[in-house]
Chain A
Amino acid sequence: MTGLNDTNSTELSFRNLLNADTIAGLIFFCIGGFFTTSSFTLRFGSPMDMGPAFFPRSIAIIMMLFALAIIMRGIQQARAGKGSRVRIEILSILQVSAAIIFFALTLRWLGLILSGMGLMMIAGFSVKGARWHEVMFLAVTVAVTSGFLFIYGLGIQAPLLPRF
């Protein structure tokens, strides 16, 4: 599809709108908003006698103001046809998350060796060009050596093997 960057067009293409500034600004605004609203349960106080909410809420509000400015700059850029769409690889995020969440959930239950192997297999197979035998070999050897290194060598308190 062509013509997205016709500079004379003031028509905002939705694609272009999702540029670095607007997305960042939105994230910032939401986070600032979150902290502002969460701070309502705490006492605000006054400059002379600051309560626990004073500092965070003030910062959060300032942050939201900056966030708005950044969003506006992003919109301005999109209008001028300058911003470029941010590409986020959801797949990579899901793959790494799966590996880590698996490890976190099974560590205490399956022990370090097995959950470590699981993590390495999930992560190993996520990379392009992964070869079956490499991933498995690495998973087994590294998980086992790490188990001994960390638990016996460095004294980390974690179960080595499954505890049923």
Chain B
Amino acid sequence: MEIINNLVYGLGVAVTPYNLGFGFIGVLLGTLVGVLPGIGPVATISMLLPVTYALSPATGLIMLAGIYYGAQYGGSTTAILINLPGESSAVVTTLDGHKMAQQGKAGAALVVAALGSLFAGIVGTLMIAGFAPVLAGVAFLFGAPEYFSLMVLGLVGSILLARGSVMKAIVMILMGILFGSIGIDVNSGAARFSMGSSSLIDGFGVAVVAMGLFGLSELLRNLSSPPEHNVVAKRVTGLWLNKQQFSDAAPAVLRGTAIGSFLGLLPGGGAVLSSFAAYAVEKRLSRHPERFGEGAIEGVASPEAANNAAAQTSFIPMLTLGIPATATMALMIGAMTVHNIQPGPQIISRQPELFWGLIASMLTGNIMLVILNLPMIRLWVKLLQVPYRLLLPVILLFCAIGLYSLEYTTFDILAALGFGVFGYVLTKCECEPAPFVLGFILGPMMEENLRRALTISQGDFSVLFTRPISMVLMIATFILLLILMAPSIRRRREDVFTEGEA
């Protein structure tokens, strides 16, 4: 079969001691970088770019790719353990992952994240191996109207992320959109809401927002609650999954993989949606949605699988079209250009050893990551049983350094502090930060695509509803809205009744 041939060929390239070695360095660095708050793969990769010039293109890319998805693994680890998402894709993992850690199930959470990601990585790799040319075509189906409708669906669906009041969730989303619109407006070049400050001229970075709103506000909460509480409960129940957890998580992993594999193909913003969408779908399909946000294992398994699947499939538009979904991808394209390799539709036929070698290395890379991370779980859990009064300053310092490393300005550190205080106050008021982050990321994209769609159609709104994919997405949004509103209408009727009785 075609897939097998290609993979065997690729493995032949990837499984040389040289490439395996560099691949290992990549995933090791990536995990380290993912665990350290703020410091992301971008900084590390740009530092290592000159090194890759000296290596063969395949080796260089294998190492860089290793850093990339290694960082995803590392980012999930901190998300679960200290509520600090290392990557924006790990934000959703904090919702149930950290809760599980607080319930003493940190081991299970970490294991399910690792295994779910491994499964998704393997499936993603097989998909690329089998269907790369076809998958590349998917990107062309999505123009501005389609992205807009997708974002709207995503935002409406993110209301599902919230546990409590729907109104507050909606406002958090709106507020996130507003904060996201700080920056230079694409269409007019005007600097919006920057208050004349050159630090704000491009708005806030998503890392600053995520670290502040999740990590720092969690720190503030822990500081005020009795310090006898450790970050994770003293008794950690086992470092593996029991039967029940496994059977709960498995279908979630499957669904997450499917969602992530698809969304990763959309270079204009699919990958960021993947973990949020997977979580929302799980919650929606679950028979006990109240469990979500309280430590439901599906709430960890699905997003983790989704974001790893998306990480793999987002290599497709990068390799076959030269379109980077993230800054990290842009760096990898740079690394290829140096070797005079052009990403594009002919890359599969012109550079087979590079393409298949890279794809196969994702298999080996994911396996190496699991081998690296699983034993480390024991270490992490031990580490977090250190009394919190000792851990807090260390975490704080690493956050501060990490924040500085993003753009080398102290402004980012202070901005994150601001978001931390903000997040702390809001969580005390029973508002949740996750919808805010989603609004922050998706809002600007939504606006950009809406305005672009209208420019192209010369002001014709109907284009959003007449183009087939866009129409489907809009109908899905509408249905979702109805589903969301139905219970609240019922509840209000109940309230009316109870009030009448009182």
Given the known A-B contacts A24-B426, A155-B47, are A97 and B421 also in contact in the complex, defined by CB atoms under 8 Å? Answer: yes
Q: How far is the CB of B59 from chain A (nearest CB, A)?
A: 21
Q: How far is the CA of A47 from the CA of B192 in the complex (A)?
A: 19
Interface presence of A96 (CB below 8 A): yes
Bound together, the chains give a CA A19 to CA B193 distance in angstroms of 30
A88 contacts chain B at the CB level, 8 A cutoff: yes
Interface of B is mostly: helix
* B-side contacts of A60, CB under 8 Å: 174, 178
Partner of B410, one of A28, A104, A123: A104
Q: Would you give the 0/1 interface string for B382-406, flagging 1 where the beta carbon is closer than 8 Å to chain A?
A: 0000011110111011101100110
Query: How many angstroms from the CA of A99 to the CA of B430 in the assembled complex?
Result: 27
Quick one: given A24-B431, A116-B397, are A96 and B389 in contact (CB under 8 Å)? no
Q: Among B220-228, B255-263, B280-288, which stretch is in contact with chain A? A: B220-228
Tell me which residues from 99 to 121 in chain A have a Cβ below 8 Å from any Cβ of chain B.
99-101, 103-105, 107-108, 112, 116, 119-121
Given A150-B401, A156-B401, A92 and B396 touching (CB < 8 A)? no
**Partner of B408 from A43, A67, A103, A157 at Cβ < 8 Å:** A157
**Cα of A59 to Cα of B451 in the assembled complex, Å:** 15
Check if B486 is an interface residue, CB within 8 A of chain A.
Answer: no
Tell which of A62, A96, A156, A157 has the most Cβ of chain B within 10 Å.
A96
CB-nearest residue of chain A relative to B174?
A: A63
A134 at the interface (CB under 8 A from B): yes
Assembly CA distance A24 to B175 (angstroms): 12
Q: Which residues does chain A contribute within 8 Å of B410, judged by CB atoms?
A: 104-105, 107-108
* CB–CB B220/A92 < 8 A: yes
Q: Is the CB of A101 within 8 A of B417?
A: yes
Contact with A along B144-177 (1 / 0, CB 8 A): 0000000000000000000001011011001101
Instruction: State whether the Cβ of B414 lies closer than 8 Å to any Cβ in chain A.
Output: yes
Q: Which residue of A lies closest to B44 (CB)?
A: A154
Task: Return the chain B residue nearest A28 by Cβ.
Answer: B171
> Chain A 7-41 against B: per-residue CB contact (8 Å), 1 yes, 0 no?
00000000000001101100110011001001100
**Binding-face segment, B18-26, B119-127, B181-189, B467-475:** B181-189
With contacts A92-B220, A95-B223, A127-B227 taken as known, whether A143 is within 8 angstroms of B397 at the C-beta atoms is: yes
Nearest chain A residue, comparing its CB with the CB of B195: A38
Once bound together, how far apart are the Cα atoms of A126 and B417, in whole Å? 16
Interface residues of B in 419-478 (CB under 8 A from A): 420-421, 424-426, 428-431, 443, 447, 450-451, 454, 459, 461
Any chain B CB within 8 A of the CB of A48?
A: yes
B369 on interface, CB distance cutoff 8 Å? no
Assembly CA distance A104 to B165 (angstroms): 36
Answer yes or no: B39 CB below 8 A from chain A CBs: yes
Contact between A66 and B171, CB atoms less than 8 A apart: yes
Contact A100 B413 (CB under 8 A): yes
Q: Does B190 contact A (CB under 8 A)?
A: yes
Q: Is B43 interfacial (CB 8 A cutoff)?
A: yes
Q: Measured between alpha carbons, how far is A124 from B219 in the docked complex, in Å? A: 13
Given contacts A88-B425, A89-B224, contact A103 B400 (CB under 8 A): yes
Cβ distance A19 to chain B, nearest Cβ, rounded Å: 8
A78 within 8 A of B: no
Q: How far is the CB of A18 from chain B (nearest CB, A)?
A: 10
A66 and B393 within 8 A (CB): no
User: Which chain B residue shows the least CB distance to A121?
Assistant: B393
Residues of B within 8 Å of A127, CB to CB, are 223, 227, 388-389, 392
Task: State whether the Cβ of B216 lies closer than 8 Å to any Cβ in chain A.
Answer: yes
Q: Is B390's CB under 8 angstroms from A96's CB?
A: no
Q: Which residue of A53, A97, A124, A143 contacts B417 across the interface (Cβ within 8 Å)?
A: A97
Contact yes or no, B220 A154, CB < 8 A: no
Q: Do residues A119 and B454 form an inter-chain contact, with CB atoms below 8 A?
A: no
**B460 CB to nearest chain A CB (Å):** 8
Do A52 and B223 form a contact, CB below 8 Å, given A47-B461, A138-B390, A138-B393? no
Q: Which residues of B contact A73 (CB under 8 A)?
A: 167
Q: Please state if B401 and A20 are interface contacts (CB–CB under 8 Å).
A: no
* Distance between A82 CB and nearest chain B CB, rounded to angstroms: 12
Report the bound CA distance from A99 to B395 in whole Å: 12
A-B contacts, 16 of them at CB < 8 A, read A23-B425, A32-B178, A59-B178, A59-B443, A66-B170, A86-B428, A92-B223, A119-B396, A124-B392, A128-B227, A134-B389, A142-B394, A150-B401, A154-B33, A154-B43, A157-B408
What 3 A-B pairs are tightest by C-beta distance, nearest first?
A48-B459, A89-B224, A24-B429
Chain A residues with CB under 8 Å of chain B are 20-21, 23-24, 27-28, 31-32, 35, 38-39, 42-43, 47-53, 55-56, 59-60, 62-63, 66-67, 69-70, 73, 86-89, 91-93, 95-97, 99-101, 103-105, 107-108, 112, 116, 119-121, 123-124, 126-130, 134-135, 138-139, 142-143, 146, 150, 154-158
Q: Other than the known A21-B430, A92-B220, what 12 A-B pairs have Cβ atoms closer than 8 Å?
A: A20-B428, A21-B429, A39-B192, A50-B450, A50-B454, A52-B187, A56-B181, A59-B178, A67-B171, A93-B421, A129-B227, A143-B397
